């Protein structure tokens, strides 16, 4: 079971780049790395997913080193609306094609004016 | 698309009463998940369905909890009898595919309070 470890909380200011690193030392060959974002009183929302190297979309970038034992979510120029909990997940791939996602405690990002 | 729809959004009930939470997944998605979120335990997977069939219910806390998916567009999570420790936010999520790198789309949740 690939357990993830990420900082409990982070603080930043508007306009700064935020990097949240997650460690997943026991990641399996089949596992993808996925990040979700959750605002208060809402369900988690998919941000980005990757397997190796770098992935970029309109919201964030995901950097994954060659050994895949860690990953870094990068949020460019954050705003107050980026204040949320960010979850790093590694799917547990079971027989039959089931990819079970295990949510950890997440990282509480607070963006200040 | 309207996204995953859950009802009710808020439910307040008394201990011992039956509670039924409802979910309509995104059309075309063949996987459905029920989660529970509390401050103490975080987000926990309760049960998941693939093509309307329950595949993994290992997260269901006890026999008081049951879930059904009678068709591709509807699922229920029932608690009978309810207890104060069941108070939590219950999320339903759906996914367009089962295998590989799946992406789950979450509903807005049902906040359950059991007095």
> Looking at residue A105, what is its pLDDT?
86
Q: What is the pLDDT of residues A11-61, one digit of tens each?
A: 999 999 999 999 999 888 878 889 999 999 899 999 998 988 999 999 999
SS3 A66: coil
Copy the structure tokens of residue A50. Answer: 């990757």
| pLDDT(B1) > 70 | no
Instruction: Report the distance separating Cα B49 and Cα B91, nearest Å.
Output: 14
**What is the mean predicted confidence (pLDDT) over A64-86?**
96
Q: How far is A94 from chain B (nearest CA, A)?
A: 9
* Per-residue CA distances from B103 to A89, B27, B39, B83, B111 (Å): 11, 15, 24, 32, 23
Q: Which residue has the higher pLDDT, B29 or B76?
A: B76
Q: How far is A34 from chain B (nearest CA, A)?
A: 8
Query: Starting from the edge strand earliest in sequence, which strands make up the sheet with B19-24, in order?
Result: B5-7, B19-24, B74-79, B65-71
Four-CA torsion B99, B101, B102, B103, nearest 10 degrees = -170
Q: How far is B89 from chain A (nearest CA, A)?
A: 9
Beta partners for B10? B111
Closest residue by Cα to residue A33 from A46, A18, A17:
A46
| pLDDT(A98) > 70 | no
Between chains, do A103 and B105 touch, taking CB under 8 Å as contact?
no
Contacts of A44 in chain B (CB under 8 A): 43, 91, 104, 106
Contacts of B99 in chain A (CB under 8 A): 97-99
Cis peptide before B8 (omega within 30 of 0): yes
Q: Out of B2-6, B29-33, B87-91, which region has the weakest mean confidence (pLDDT)?
A: B29-33
Chain A: residue whose CA lies nearest to B4: A43
> Looking at residue A78, what is its pLDDT?
96
What is the percentage of chain B residues whose pLDDT exceeds 70? 94
Which band of pLDDT confidence, cut at 50, 70 and 90, is reported for residue B103? confident
Q: Shortest CB distance from B91 goes to which of A43, A96, A104?
A: A43
Tell whether A39 lies on the interface with B, counting CB pairs under 8 A.
Answer: no
Q: How far is B80 from chain A (nearest CA, A)?
A: 25
Tell whether A98 lies on the interface with B, counting CB pairs under 8 A.
Answer: yes
Contacts of A45 in chain B (CB under 8 A): 106
| pLDDT(B33) > 80 | yes
| Chain B residues touching chain A at CB-CB below 8 Å | 4, 35, 42-45, 48, 50, 55-56, 91, 93, 98-109
Q: Shortest CB distance from A99 goes to which of B43, B44, B100?
A: B100
């Amino acid at each position: 079971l690939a357990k993830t470890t990420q900082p409990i909380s982070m603080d930043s200011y508007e306009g700064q780049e935020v990097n949240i690193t997650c460690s997943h030392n026991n990641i399996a060959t089949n596992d993808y790395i996925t990040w979700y974002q959750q605002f208060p009183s809402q369900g988690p929302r998919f941000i980005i997913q990757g397997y190796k190297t770098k992935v970029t979309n309109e919201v964030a970038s995901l950097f994954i080193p060659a050994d895949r034992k860690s990953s870094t979510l990068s949020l460019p120029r954050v705003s107050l609306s980026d204040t949320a909990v960010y979850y790093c997940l590694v799917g547990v791939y079971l027989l039959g094609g089931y990819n079970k996602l295990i949510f950890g405690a997440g990282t509480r990002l607070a963006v200040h004016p | 698309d309207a996204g995953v729809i859950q009802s009710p959004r808020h439910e307040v009930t008394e201990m011992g009463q039956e509670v039924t939470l409802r979910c309509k997944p995104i059309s075309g998605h063949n996987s459905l998940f029920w989660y529970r979120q509390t401050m103490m335990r975080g987000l926990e997977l309760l049960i998941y369905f693939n093509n309307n069939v329950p595949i993994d219910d290992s997260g269901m806390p006890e026999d008081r909890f049951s879930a059904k998916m009678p068709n591709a567009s509807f699922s229920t999570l029932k608690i009978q009898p309810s207890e104060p420790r069941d108070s939590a936010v219950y999320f339903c999520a759906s996914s367009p595919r089962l295998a590989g790198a799946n992406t789950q789309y979450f509903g807005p949740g049902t906040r359950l309070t059991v007095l």
